[in-house]
């Protein structure tokens, strides 16, 4: 008995052997087996190349023993239009025609009460015939079950449609990408194509490649086959031209499965003209769209707006468009990237692309304008009105950047900047600093006559806000100085208030209190002239931050309470957390940890449904620090890790440095001195690498609090070595070490660029002696007399102590020394 014969005997039908290993889809197979036990007609629907046929055969082989009449496969891949289905089924089952009797009747009699599973593969080739035949089978053959594969549902009574998903992709931040079905399939097929293939050092590259291919099995198999002649890196680099790259498949496969283009092209050729029109026009959307967007952008010239819904439904049925999520009460549609690229090619050939891109850009400006008006309009909307638009905006980010890019590349900087400026508050509150920084820099390079003064002024202010959010105060200062000069010259008080507010932030950061106070007063005066309570709230919160930095806690609390009152009046869940965070920080300074925690938790509760990364990060970090201060190290670690993970994706270097510093303090509390010193060194290195960075007040003092106990336990030499390890880490290595505890990062040999050196924050023995005298209230002259040194030398030592600890006054030094001695 041959292997094929044995297989037919075991399955009681004509089910083929699997040509190679079946990879992944374990959960899908299990679910379909369960489904077949209760449903008589199950249709596996999905795009070409998604793996419908292979999955059907796999499921059928698992349930074959349950069908005494066998499992039979009817393939329609090569069927032509108007061909009859019944003769194909009869031929597979061995049913012969009878004289003077329809073959269909003979076939149904032969099936009768047989307990049989019929797989009808590629029903889209004969969709109407397949639907009629299956409806009849369900009516007259009670023990027959049908497992169909098709690019669209049959739409008959009793049908259960099961959409075949792409293979699972690696989870963001996941430790082992090989748990992904897509990665496993690539590795398996690449190993078969090239005996020398190994995934040991390029698993991350494979994961990125599989993600670019949407987890589509056909595309992954075609790409893996190229490993016989290309490296994974080469394949990934060329994947943008996927239709040319993936053009040599299995010679024995149906023609439309031998190349990726043939698979998609076949589906496109089967469409009716309105479906082709809509599919290619939908290519202007990046990431996803709603029905309203499709009607606004894609209607006209052969496709009426009122017909868009029905045509879109047809494309969903044919698995060329996915309806895979609900966003703000609306269904979100998208295409697999392979389909979208093909549709984009058809759009380019049609000659409609420029007009469609313009419509898309204008519609994104319309949506942005709607969001902006919701935020600033009078009477104020409720948060319930604002929130759905913000949630929708989160889903449309890729479309926003596509619209900005198209405008920039087509010499329309005004429209691109208009879109960015309308989305100012979502950009800042959501921490979407990248790629806003890139586009603002590029668009602001345009000569002045190409931009109106108002647009340039608003854009410069936004650039300053983005730069400050990224931890680049010098870039923020330059942008806002230019904005303030332009706004003063043209009488633009609205953007002027924004520019002055950011310049005040920079002054606070640079420890220039007099200038900060002056700028804040001027910013308030400007904002009152344009009646902008949202911006007034921001400035009041800045006043609170400024007062707190000066040690004026009561004044700070009053400013934050005033900001909170405005936020409540606006019913704005972006605005209120800003004030609540400020009140939490005031409570922290006063030592009221319970009140601080309550404020942070109130703020987090308001942020549940929106993207506001900066505020969420600050709340999580604050709660982590409170837990650390209270000795709850488990909660502290959970909150701080969550904060750093979120911060990692925002591009905020200063935020990353702060989070790593706090995790160093946690490591010290956990008695892991080595880890604490490495993390402290890494945090300091990130800060020092930042352009124009100024160490925050008390930074050196906090470093000393970390390093002093470590030196006592480990010794100066080892602390210096560990600090150097931390300094050597890149930011990404430091983040990975902080999150995952990857000791290979933290203990890698030094590069030799510099010898191990003590941290710059380390106070010398003499400086500790002088710091103690400062704490006792001695003047420089008295210190000089006490130590028998010159007053100039004493003054120099005190200046060094202030610089190392990051303090601006002797009182701060005294307070810190007293706290250290008390500990």
The residue assigned the tokens 């933290």 is: 746
Encoding tokens for residue 76?
């329609």
List, in order, residues 6 or more apart from 329 with CB less than 8 Å away: 388
Q: Is the pLDDT of residue 739 over 90?
A: no
Quick check: 494 pLDDT over 90?
no
Nearest alpha-carbon partner for 500 in 509, 488, 511, 491: 488
Sign of CA dihedral 292, 297, 300, 302: negative
| pLDDT on residue 524 | 85
H or E element, residue 144: strand 144-150
Mean pLDDT of 368-395: 77
Residue 72: its H or E element: strand 71-75
Neighbours of 207 (CB within 10 A): 21
Distance CA 553, CA 517 (A): 16
Q: How far apart are the first and last CA of the chain?
A: 85
Q: Which of 453-467, 526-540, 781-795 has the highest mean pLDDT?
A: 453-467
Angle at the Cα of 652 from the Cα atoms of 648 and 657, rounded to 5 degrees: 75
Whether 597 shows a pLDDT value over 90: the answer reads yes
DSSP 289: B
Query: Which stretch of DSSP H or E encloses residue 83?
Result: none
Q: Is the peptide bond prior to 435 cis by the omega test (within 30 degrees of 0)? A: yes
pLDDT at 651: 61
> Cα–Cα–Cα angle for 467, 470, 476, nearest 5°?
20
Percent of the chain with pLDDT over 90: 14
Distance from chain centroid for Cα 300: 34
For the cut 70, the answer to whether the pLDDT of residue 464 exceeds it is: yes
Mean of pLDDT values over 349-374: 90
Strand pairing class (322-327; 144-150): unpaired
**Model confidence at 251: pLDDT above 50:** no
**Bridging pattern class, strands 144-150 and 159-163:** unpaired
CA–CA dist 337, 46 (Å, integer): 14
For residue 159, list its beta bridge partners.
41
Which pair of tokens denotes residue 359? 């419509």
- At residue 751, does pLDDT exceed 60? no
Q: What is the pLDDT of residue 49?
A: 80
The alpha carbon of residue 527 and the mean position of all alpha carbons in its chain are separated, in whole angstroms, by: 35
Q: What is the pLDDT of residues 36-63, one digit of tens each?
A: 888 888 888 888 788 888 888 888 888 8
The alpha helices in 531-652, defined as continuous H runs, are 533-549, 553-570, 575-590, 593-606, 613-629, 633-648
3-state DSSP percent of the chain in helix, strand and coil, to 5: 65, 5, 30
| DSSP character string of 162-180 | EEPPPPP-PPTT-S-GGGS
Q: How far apart are CA 318 and CA 303, in angstroms?
A: 19
Range 499-504, long-range pairs (CB < 8 A, 24+ positions): 499/457, 499/460, 499/461, 499/464, 500/526, 501/535, 501/538, 501/539, 501/542, 502/461, 502/464, 502/465, 502/468, 502/476, 503/464, 503/477, 504/542, 504/546
411-457 pLDDT per residue, tens: 889 999 999 999 888 887 777 787 888 889 999 887 767 788 899 99
Reference 538, options 593, 592, 577, 482; nearest CA is 577
| 120 vs 29: CA distance, rounded Å | 17
pLDDT for residue 634: 92
CA 585/CA 198 separation, integer angstroms: 52
Neighbours of 743 (CB within 10 A): 12
Integer Cα distance of 203 and 187 in angstroms: 9
pLDDT given for residue 1 in this prediction: 30
Distance CA 444, CA 447 (A): 8
Distance CA 485, CA 501 (A): 14
Q: Which residue has the higher pLDDT, 88 or 2?
A: 88
Count CB-CB contacts under 10 A for residue 102. Answer: 11
Q: How confident is the model at residue 6 (pLDDT cuts 50, 70, 90)?
A: very low
Q: Is 13 in contact with 64 (CB distance < 8 Å)?
A: yes
Over residues 529-568, the pLDDT tens digits come to 887 787 888 888 888 988 887 778 899 999 999 999 988 8
Neighbour count for residue 147 (Cβ, 10 Å): 26
CA–CA distance from 199 to each of 166, 167, 175, 227 (Å)? 22, 18, 15, 11
- Is residue 441 within 8 A of residue 466, CB to CB? The reply is no
pLDDT digits (tens, 9 = 90+) for 663-680: 988 988 888 889 888 998
Most confident stretch, 88-92, 136-140, 619-623, 748-752: 619-623
> Which residue from 160, 171, 189, 159 is spatially nearest to 51, judged by alpha carbons?
189
819 pLDDT more than 90: no
Res. 335: pLDDT tops 60:
yes
Identify which has the larger pLDDT, 249 or 520.
520
Mean pLDDT of 105-117: 85
Mean pLDDT score across all residues of the chain? 80
Structure tokens belonging to residue 280? 């290619």
pTM summary value: 0.69
pLDDT in tens, 683-721: 888 877 765 455 555 566 677 777 778 877 888 788 888
DSSP class of residue 1 equals -
**HSE-up (13 A, CA, CB side) for residue 333:** 24
pLDDT at res. 4 = 41
User: In the prediction, which pLDDT does 816 show?
Assistant: 67
Q: Which pLDDT tens digit goes with each residue over 132-164?
A: 888 888 888 888 888 888 888 888 888 888 888
Residue 602: pLDDT band (50, 70, 90) is: very high
Strands of 422-545, DSSP E: none
pLDDT given at position 397: 85
């Amino acid at each position: 008995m041959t292997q094929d014969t044995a297989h037919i005997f075991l399955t009681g039908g004509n089910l083929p052997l699997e040509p190679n290993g079946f990879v992944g889809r374990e959960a899908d197979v299990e679910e379909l087996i369960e489904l077949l036990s209760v449903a008589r007609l199950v249709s596996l629907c999905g795009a070409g190349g998604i793996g419908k046929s292979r999955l059907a055969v796999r499921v059928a082989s698992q349930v074959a023993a349950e069908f005494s009449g066998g499992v039979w496969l009817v393939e329609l891949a090569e069927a032509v239009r108007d061909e009859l289905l019944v003769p194909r089924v009869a031929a597979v089952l061995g049913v012969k025609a009878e004289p003077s009797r329809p073959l269909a009747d003979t076939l149904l009699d032969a099936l009768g009460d047989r307990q049989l599973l019929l797989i009808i593969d590629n029903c889209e080739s004969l969709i109407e015939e397949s639907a009629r035949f299956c409806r009849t089978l369900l009516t007259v053959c009670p023990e027959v079950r049908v497992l169909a594969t098709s690019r669209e549902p049959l739409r008959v009574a009793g049908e259960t449609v099961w959409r075949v998903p792409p293979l699972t992709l690696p989870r963001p931040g996941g430790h082992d990408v090989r748990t992904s079905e897509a990665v496993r399939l690539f590795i398996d097929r690449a190993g078969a194509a090239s005996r020398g293939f190994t995934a040991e050092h390029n698993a991350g590259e494979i994961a990125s490649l599989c993600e670019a291919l949407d987890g589509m099995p056909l595309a992954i198999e075609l790409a893996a086959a190229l490993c016989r002649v290309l490296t994974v890196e080469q394949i990934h680099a060329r994947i943008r031209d996927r239709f040319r790259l993936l053009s040599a498949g299995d010679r024995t496969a149906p023609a439309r499965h031998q190349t990726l283009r043939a698979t998609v092209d076949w589906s496109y050729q089967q469409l009716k003209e309105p479906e082709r029109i809509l599919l290619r026009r939908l290519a202007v959307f990046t990431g996803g769209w709603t029905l309203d967007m499709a009607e606004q952008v894609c209607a006209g010239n052969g496709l009426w707006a009122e017909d868009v819904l029905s045509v879109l439904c047809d494309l969903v049925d044919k698995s060329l468009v996915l309806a895979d999520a609900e966003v703000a009460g609306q269904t979100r549609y998208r295409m697999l990237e392979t389909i979208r690229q093909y549709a984009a090619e058809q759009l380019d050939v049609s000659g409609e692309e420029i007009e469609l891109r313009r419509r898309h850009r204008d519609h994104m400006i319309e949506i942005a304008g709607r969001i902006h008006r919701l935020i600033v309009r009078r009477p104020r909307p409720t948060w319930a009105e604002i929130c759905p638009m913000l949630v929708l905006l989160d889903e449309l980010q890729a479309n926003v950047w596509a619209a900005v890019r198209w405008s920039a590349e087509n010499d329309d900087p005004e429209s691109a900047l208009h879109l960015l400026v309308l989305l100012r508050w979502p950009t800042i509150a959501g921490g979407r600093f990248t790629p806003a920084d890139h586009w603002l820099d590029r668009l602001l390079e345009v000569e002045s006559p190409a931009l109106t003064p108002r647009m340039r002024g608003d854009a410069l202010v936004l650039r300053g806000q983005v730069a400050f959010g990224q931890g680049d105060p010098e870039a923020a200062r330059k942008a806002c100085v230019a904005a303030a000069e332009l706004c003063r010259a043209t009488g633009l008080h609205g953007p002027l208030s924004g520019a002055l507010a950011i310049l005040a932030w920079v002054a606070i950061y640079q420890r220039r209190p007099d200038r900060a106070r002056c700028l804040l007063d001027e910013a308030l005066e400007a904002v009152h002239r344009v009646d902008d309570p949202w911006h007034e709230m921001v400035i009041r919160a800045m006043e609170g931050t400024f007062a707190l930095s000066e040690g004026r806690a009561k004044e700070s609390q009053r400013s934050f309470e005033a900001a909170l009152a405005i936020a409540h009046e606006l019913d704005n869940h972006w605005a209120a957390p800003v004030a609540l965070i400020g009140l939490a920080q005031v409570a922290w300074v006063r030592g009221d940890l319970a009140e601080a925690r309550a404020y942070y938790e109130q703020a987090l509760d308001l942020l549940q449904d929106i993207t506001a990364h900066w505020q969420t990060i600050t709340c999580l970090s604050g709660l982590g620090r409170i837990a650390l201060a209270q000795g709850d190290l488990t909660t502290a670690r959970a909150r701080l890790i969550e904060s750093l993970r979120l911060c990692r994706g925002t591009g905020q270097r200063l935020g990353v440095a702060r989070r790593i510093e706090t995790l160093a303090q946690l490591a010290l509390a956990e008695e892991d001195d080595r880890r604490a010193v490495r993390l402290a060194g890494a945090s300091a290195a990130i800060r020092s690498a930042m352009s124009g960075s100024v160490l925050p007040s008390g930074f050196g003092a906090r470093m000393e609090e970390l390093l002093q106990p470590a030196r006592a336990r480990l010794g100066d030499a080892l602390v210096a070595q560990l600090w150097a390890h931390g300094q050597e880490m890149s930011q990404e290595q430091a983040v990975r070490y902080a999150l995952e505890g990857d000791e290979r990062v933290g203990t890698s040999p030094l590069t030799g660029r510099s010898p191990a050196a003590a941290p710059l924050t380390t106070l010398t023995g003499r400086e500790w002696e002088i710091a103690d005298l400062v704490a006792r209230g001695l003047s420089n002259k008295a210190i000089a007399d006490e130590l028998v040194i010159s007053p100039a030398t004493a003054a120099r030592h005190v200046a060094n102590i202030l610089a190392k600890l990051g303090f601006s006054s002797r009182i701060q030094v005294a307070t810190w020394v007293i706290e250290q001695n008390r500990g």
